[in-house]
């Protein structure tokens, strides 16, 4: 739907249950490391409740992680629904 969420908006949405993830079945995962950065591509079937409505989606997901002070932190994510 083109929705953009900041980190705080995502956390607020999940904590308020406006966006409630029920299940994520990962079909394919590719992880590439570049020093202290990891780029992860996923293909997944995702089931969630979005503002009270159930959704079952076939999605491509991109995650970017950075390792800081020995811990991995998610710094960016993008997901698109496959038709």
pLDDT in tens, 34-82: 999 999 999 999 998 888 899 899 999 999 999 999 999 999 888 888 8
Measure the CA–CA gap between 14 and 21, rounded to whole angstroms: 8
Pairing of strands 71-81, 37-50: unpaired
Side-chain-side CA neighbours of 25 within 13 Å: the count stands at 6
In this predicted structure, what is the pLDDT of residue 1?
61
Alpha-carbon span 55 to 33, nearest angstrom: 32
Q: pLDDT grade, residue 15 (50/70/90)?
A: confident
Rounded Cα distance, 53 and 51, in Å:
6
Question: What's the burial of 43, exposed, middle or buried (CB within 10 Å: 0-12/13-18/19+)?
Answer: middle
């Amino acid at each position: 739907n083109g929705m953009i969420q900041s980190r705080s908006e995502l956390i607020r949405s999940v904590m308020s249950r406006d966006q409630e993830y029920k299940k994520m079945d990962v079909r394919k995962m590719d992880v590439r490391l570049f020093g202290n950065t990891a780029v992860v591509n996923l293909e997944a079937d995702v089931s969630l409740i979005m503002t009270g409505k159930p959704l079952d989606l076939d999605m491509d997901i991109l995650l970017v992680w950075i390792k800081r002070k020995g811990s991995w932190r998610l710094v960016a994510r993008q997901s698109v629904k496959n038709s």
